[in-house]
A and B are shown apart, each in its own frame.
Chain A
């Protein structure tokens, strides 16, 4: 509410943007819905990316991946015609239930925030997405592709100097789903989980297990359990193993809103539901 900006800038190219950012008192704005919360009084300059051509959802060459520009809003993403295998991403976009926020919040902006209830971050980790980031090295604009998990744990320097240009989600058929749960319908979730199974490869991610974006986790042990569920497995056996695995994968993070024990229970419940949804989609009980 009480910012003291002396500069508001709208660069018209990625290169120009990169030259303007990097200082400790400079912030990037994509859709820009986070500034009014306290804690930004130190900023002097804001760089607004709205003129950059980084919006757009396209299929990459050879249809191997879905490209989502960093300035695509959550609302656009929620309503786009996307292949069914990317359901988790659209469910995660819709999990931001505030329509006015969805209209402004961008994929890049939401991913760049240091929070673990981003929702689309969880989905993108499970989907095995990559991001293309750009930064200046000397006078050169350097592009770099990294898995979204690496982007989420980037250091403070990278946070200040990098710009996320686009997200790429690999395609290959299969199934994905997303689940979340919070105190009320409009709350950010206590925890969320996303599942992708493509070509027998299982990826599970869960968010909410710490204050920052680094706490969106892969559930490695749980992935192993799910991958070994055989067709026709009697129900009741994999649930117990899955529970044990999720409990092993997820730290019990306690904050103002929920205890770690509860959050972990929730992760178990949500993961189990996703696996049940996957089995049902295959016609298995």
Chain B
């Protein structure tokens, strides 16, 4: 069947199987920043934005997303112009193996989208569905708060 969506601001039209999950379809078409970490929607490494809302693409059929707007990590920033949330994660030392990072960055963007001044507890709650084994979440939480500050236009936090 046909999958038609707006992906990172551009229209795409792909032939997919009805049972294909969104993670595998995105990855098969080169959007490999979205990762496969579990099959149960628990780890968040597959998170993307669907109509601006953070969702786990591993538990969504691609077909369900057809006709909608999708944002993957590739749509946020580039080497020359990283998204402020991406810079925040780099500067905080919040990235070790990097496998959970795209999902965490998507969560951060989603959080800041509806809460411009999150608290540390808000940051923890936003990262709750993003499992990480490397960092213990300490620096990622700092990164989320710093990302919010950058997006508000505050001076860079220490």
Range class of the A interface residue count:
20 to 34
Q: 1/0 per residue B44-68: CB within 8 Å of A? A: 1001001001111011110110000
A229 to chain B, nearest CB (A): 34
- Given A100-B55, A103-B54: A5 touches B19 (CB 8 Å cut-off): yes
Across the interface, do A100 and B125 meet the contact criterion of CB distance under 8 Å? no
**Residue B126 at the chain A interface, CB threshold 8 Å:** yes
Across the interface, do B63 and A36 meet the contact criterion of CB distance under 8 Å? no
- Given A3-B19, A103-B55, A186-B129: A98 touches B63 (CB 8 Å cut-off): no
Across the interface, do B1 and A36 meet the contact criterion of CB distance under 8 Å? no
Closest to A37 in B: B40
Across the interface, do A50 and B64 meet the contact criterion of CB distance under 8 Å? yes
* Number of A-B residue pairs at CB separation under 8 A: 84
**Residue A269 at the chain B interface, CB threshold 8 Å:** no
Across the interface, do B39 and A36 meet the contact criterion of CB distance under 8 Å? yes
B158 to chain A, nearest CB (A): 28
A residues in contact with B17, CB < 8 Å: 5
Q: 1/0 per residue B16-48: CB within 8 Å of A? A: 011101000000000000000001111010010
> Which of A5, A33, A75 lies in contact with B60, CB distance below 8 A?
A33
Across the interface, do A97 and B41 meet the contact criterion of CB distance under 8 Å? no
- Given A8-B61, A48-B64: A36 touches B128 (CB 8 Å cut-off): no
Across the interface, do B55 and A36 meet the contact criterion of CB distance under 8 Å? no
**Residue B107 at the chain A interface, CB threshold 8 Å:** yes
Across the interface, do A34 and B59 meet the contact criterion of CB distance under 8 Å? yes
Closest to A2 in B: B19
A residues in contact with B21, CB < 8 Å: 1, 36
User: Which residues of chain A (40-55) have a CB below 8 Å from chain B?
Assistant: 46, 48, 50
A201 to chain B, nearest CB (A): 34
- Given A36-B21, A99-B125: A8 touches B41 (CB 8 Å cut-off): no
Interface residues of A (CB under 8 A from B): 1, 3-8, 29, 32-38, 46, 48, 50, 75, 97-101, 103-104, 185-186
Q: List 23 A-B contacts (CB under 8 A).
A: A5-B18, A5-B61, A32-B60, A33-B56, A33-B60, A36-B21, A46-B18, A46-B61, A48-B64, A97-B129, A99-B54, A99-B110, A99-B125, A99-B128, A100-B56, A100-B107, A101-B41, A101-B129, A103-B53, A103-B55, A104-B53, A104-B59, A104-B60
